[in-house]
Amino acid sequence: MTSGTITDGPALRDPHTPDSRIGHGADYLHAEHTLRSWFFTTDHKRIALLYLASITAFFVIGAVTAGLVRLALVVPDGQVFTNDTYNKLFTIHGVVMVWFFLIPSIPATFGNFLIPLMIGARDLAFPKLNLASWYVFMTGALFTLASVVLGGVDTGWTFYTPLSTAFSNTWVVPALIGVTIVGFSSILTGLNFVVTIHTMRAPGMTWFRLPIFVWTHYATSLIFLLATPVITVALILLIAERAFHIGVFDPAYGGDPVLFQHLFWFYSHPAVYIMVLPGMGVISEIVPAFAQKKLFGYKFVAYAAIGLASVTFFVWGHHMFVNGQSDFASVAFSVLSFAVAVPSAVKVYNWTATIHKGSLKLDTPMLYAMGYIGLFVLGGLTGLYLATLAINQHVHATYFVVAHFHYIMVGGTVLAFLGGLHFWWPKITGRMYIEAWGRISAFLIFIGFNVTFFPQFILGYLGMPRRYHVYPPEFQFLNILSSAGSTILAVGYLFPMVYLVYSIWFGKRAPANPWDAKGLEWTVPSPPPAHNFLTEPVAPKVPYDYPLQARETGRQHS
């Protein structure tokens, strides 16, 4: 095949199926074929795929290091790896998973792919800036990865001072430079999304006709824009402190080590909502589609997204209840953290109410969504335990915290990511995956996840500190259980990697709208044409215009 305009080429190489779509413009996958057309593309859909490939690779690195950490913890005496190797492993796991997978995952892939399609635009507001964001992201990520591979970093992903500035003799500075660079990618993406959502909506696509997915990405972009600069400044100060002893964080030079924690968490707590909000957006698309019912309380859910993004800026101090913060500040941060529960509860109850009296299809995306709700609820409520001052005094920095944030960050991001990947896979690739395999993967991941992380709540309450390479023998049983669960989880993760890739070549062709879903992205062919819309998109009168509506009367049988 040659490059240029091919109007009716098959989806990638396919020896079996003759092409059935004739007469449409070339879809975005086949519009051009050269490597150059991928690496210099300004098409938001192709950039989304560049991100998808990158973050999948980073996820594998993060998952393998997690597996090695769990392997080491099978024995209490730390004989599997040396202390140094163990510390470097959990640092790589944290750095890669947080900065190179969880934060970019949904916004950079689905956000990039779907926001223009959902609002009826041909592309994002700044297509070249969008491509630049990916290059900035890759530059930073590869910089950090190179430093952890060549020299290793053993500070943990939090880089607390003065350990990171004065006492760690590892490659802290190059690793930090990479993370700092990646931050700029977040800022550019956020800027692009905000401008796009403000200025490029199709005629008739008013704010309250936007899908919740777009609302949550709008809220996420505000966090990207307002919080990321703070971590950038904090990390640059850390680099300067380490290189020149400027005396900001190191008490030996008149600095304050707790100041770093304030700056770090001022970004990193909102960052949790960078991970969670887009996940909520994905679930808010999946649940109505598979219940064939309008999202319950649309406006409340939209406001809750903005509410969460705002409240999350005022709770960072709950990471410092036992770190020498003033008692008054601790009490204030405690009660503010409880306030986060309000908008979170809205979402969960509204999804449940959406399912009520729906017409449910329990396909893979829906199974992931239901698993997500379970894990998110547990993760969220254990967050309230941690926000409770007296409980925090006991479980701070124990495995209770590890369990909690994995429930929120993995439960709230990875399950939503996988749910979204299955939901929009036909749209992205033009191919269907095999449903049975999808369902098996959803079950394996849900079970594996709970067997891995639930025992860690107990471990934490029993008092096992986190980041321990050697631990007292009475904790061994629960650690073995957790490691066994991680094996199931790993198998669960392998499934989609195999059958989704298989489907690219051998999957059935996907119709434009395989799920009978509403939303503008389902009105275009799968995969979408290079410029998204063949005809002028028409915004729906109401969002989530599913057959089953509240206030509707009369019996409905399928």
472 is a site residue for another protein (CB under 8 A): yes
CA dist list (Å): 26 to 6, 33, 410, 534: 6, 11, 37, 10
Q: Which among 495, 342, 325 is positioned nearest to 393, based on CA atoms?
A: 325
**Closest Cα to residue 393, out of 320, 294, 492?**
320
DSSP code of 475?
A: G
Q: Contact between 404 and another protein (CB under 8 A)?
A: no
- Confirm or reject binding of residue 412 to another protein (CB under 8 A): no
Q: How far is the CB of 433 from another protein (least distance, A)?
A: 20
Judging by beta carbons within 10 Å of its beta carbon (0-12, 13-18, 19+), is residue 253 exposed, middle or buried? Answer: middle
**How far from the centroid of its chain's Cα atoms is residue 345's Cα?**
20
CB closer to another protein out of 192 and 398: 398
For CA atoms 114, 305, 289, 540, give the dihedral sign. Answer: negative
CB 255 to another protein: min, Å: 8
Candidates 471, 493, 515, 544: give the one binding another protein (CB under 8 A): 471
- The answer to whether residue 542 forms part of the interface with another protein (CB under 8 A) is no
Q: Is 390 in the site for another protein (CB under 8 A)?
A: yes
Q: Using alpha carbons, select from 297, 303, 117 the residue that is nearest to residue 215.
A: 303
Stretch that binds another protein, among 42-50, 214-222, 419-427, 465-473 (CB under 8 A): 465-473
Q: Is 334 in the site for another protein (CB under 8 A)?
A: yes
Report in angstroms how near the CB of residue 28 gets to another protein at its nearest. Answer: 32
**CB 406, CB 473: distance < 8 Å:** no
Considering only residues 228 to 257 of the shown chain, the ones binding another protein according to CB under 8 A are: 251-252, 256-257
Q: How far is the CB of 320 from another protein (least distance, A)?
A: 9
Of residues 295-324, those binding another protein (CB under 8 A): 296-297, 300, 321-324
Cis bond before residue 288 (omega within 30° of 0): no
Query: How far apart, in whole angstroms, are the C-alpha atoms of residue 135 and residue 181?
Result: 10
- Using CB under 8 A as the binding rule, whether residue 191 contacts another protein is answered as no
Least spacing, CB of residue 188 vs another protein, in Å: 32
CB of 476 or CB of 487, closer to another protein: 476
Site for another protein in 21-80 (CB under 8 A): 78
Task: Verify binding: residue 3, another protein, rule CB under 8 A.
Answer: no
Binding another protein (rule: CB under 8 A), the pick from 236, 359, 437, 440 is: 359
In this structure, what DSSP letter does residue 202 have? P
Tell me the residue length of the chain.
Answer: 558
Say how many residues touch another protein, by CB under 8 A: 100
- Contacting residue, 476, 487, 514, 534, with another protein by CB under 8 A: 476
Q: If binding is defined by CB under 8 A, does position 502 make contact with another protein?
A: no
The footprint of another protein on residues 337-356 (CB under 8 A) is: 338-339, 341-343, 345-346, 348-350, 352-353, 355-356
- Residue from 393, 436, 508, 511 in contact with another protein (CB under 8 A): 393
CB–CB of 124/190 below 8 Å? no
CA 220 to chain CA mean position, Å: 11
Contact indicator for 218, 193 with CB cutoff of 8 Å: yes
